[in-house]
Chains A and B, each alone.
Chain A
Amino acid sequence: MWTADLPPFVLFYAGVLFALIPSHRLRAFAMLLVPVFGAINLLSMSADASLHMTLVGFELTLLRIDDLSLLFGYAFHIAAFIAILYAFHIRDRVQQVAGLIYAGSALGAVFSGDLLTLFVFWELLAFSSVFLIWARGTERAFVAGLRYLIIQVSSGLILLLGIVFYWRAEGTLSFDFIGTDSTYGWIILLALGIKCAFPILHNWLTDAYPEATPTGAVFLSAFTTKTAVYLLARSYPGTEQLIYIGALMTCFPIFFAVIENDLRRVLAYSMINQIGFMVCGIGIGTALAVNGAVAHAFNDIVFKGLLFMAMGAVLQMTGKINGSELGGLYKSMPKTTVLCIVGAASISAFPLFSGFVSKSMIMVAVLEEGYDWIWLALLFASAGVFHHAGIKIPYFAFFAHDSGIRTTEPPSNMLAAMSIAALICIVIGVNPTLLYDLLPYEVGYTPYDATHVLAQTQLLFYSALAFVWLNLMRLYPPELPSVNLDVEWLYRKLIPGAGRALESSVSQLTAPARHLQWNVNVPAKLAQLGKTPPSGQMVTWVMILLGAGLVISFW
Chain B
Amino acid sequence: MSENGNGRKLDDPETVKWILRVFYVICAVLFVMDFIIHRHVSHEMESIPGFYAIYGFVGCVVLVVVARWMRVLLMRDEDYYEDKPKNKDINQDYNQNYNQDALKDRNEPDPVKEAHHVDR
Contact = CB atoms under 8 A, between A and B. Distances in A.
Interface of A: 140, 254-256, 258-259, 328, 330-331, 364, 367-368, 372, 375-376, 379-380, 383-384, 387, 395, 399-402, 450-451, 454-472, 475-477, 480-486, 492-493, 500, 503-504, 507, 514, 520-521, 523-524, 526-528, 530-534
B56 interface: yes
A444 to B, nearest CB: 15
A376 B40 CA distance: 18
A514 B6 CA distance: 70
Contact of B57 (A364, A399, A465): A465
A376 B57 CA distance: 14
Tell me whether chain A's interface is mostly helix, strand or loop, or mixed.
helix
Contacts of A470: 60-61, 64
User: Which of B37, B41, B52, B90 has the most C-beta atoms of chain A within 10 angstroms of its own C-beta?
Assistant: B52
Nearest to B5: A399
Given A402-B3, A468-B1, A484-B75, A527 B91 contact: yes
Given A384-B59, A384-B63, A483-B78, A458 B53 contact: yes
A483 B64 contact: no
A463 B50 CA distance: 13
User: Which of A255, A376, A504, A526 has the most C-beta atoms of chain B within 10 angstroms of its own C-beta?
Assistant: A255
A399 B3 contact: yes
B74 A367 contact: no
Contacts of A476: 64
Contacts of A140: 82
A394 B20 CA distance: 17
A387 B30 contact: no
Of all A-B residue pairs in the complex, the 8 with the closest CB atoms, nearest first, are A471-B1, A466-B60, A462-B56, A258-B67, A527-B94, A458-B52, A459-B56, A462-B57
Contacts of B90: 500, 503-504, 527, 530
A534 B67 contact: no
Given A259-B71, A530-B90, A383 B60 contact: yes
Given A375-B43, A462-B27, A465-B57, 20 more contacts: A255-B67, A256-B70, A259-B70, A259-B75, A328-B3, A372-B43, A387-B64, A399-B3, A454-B33, A459-B53, A462-B54, A462-B57, A468-B1, A477-B67, A483-B77, A483-B81, A484-B71, A484-B76, A503-B90, A523-B94
A399 B75 contact: no
B116 interface: no
